Amino acid sequence: MAKDDDQHHHHDHDHDHEHDHEHEEGFEDDEIVILEDEDGNEHEFLIAETFDVEDRVYAVLVSADGSSEEGFIFRVEQKEEDGEPFLDFVAIEDDEEWSKVEKVYNTLVEEDDDAE
């Protein structure tokens, strides 16, 4: 799993989100998220899965067009703009936070592998 800042994520975090807000967290697995890179190019991702670490929600995003099999982990934050709530997918830049998230994610993957 790649650390999300390897994706050259644009840090203004202005993202369009296409979803129904059916889950308590405000998103569903397999929904499309559009992220803008630092060059202003938009990229479509699918939310492959979500998980919690220390009261924060994280999402694994994968390329919607299948151009890459690599996934990226982002912290999911609920924000509001002009009175409208939206979800923001934030790059994990803190090494300590990344270490905790990676450890939890790897444990989840191992549990899934053991269940099969």
pLDDT of residue 80: 92
Mean pLDDT of 54-83: 91
Domain layout of the chain by residue ranges: 2-115
Please, which pLDDT band fits residue 69 given cuts at 50, 70 and 90? confident
Residues in the chain: 116
User: DSSP string of 17-80?
Assistant: EE----STTS--TT-EEEEEBTTS-EEEEEEEEEEEETTEEEEEEEETTSS---EEEEEEEEEE
Mean pLDDT of 55-81: 91
pLDDT tens digit sequence for 79-99: 999 999 988 999 999 999 999
Contact 87, 26 (CB under 8 A): yes
pLDDT of residue 3: 56
Q: Is the pLDDT of residue 29 over 70?
A: no
CA atoms within 13 A on the CB side of 42: 8
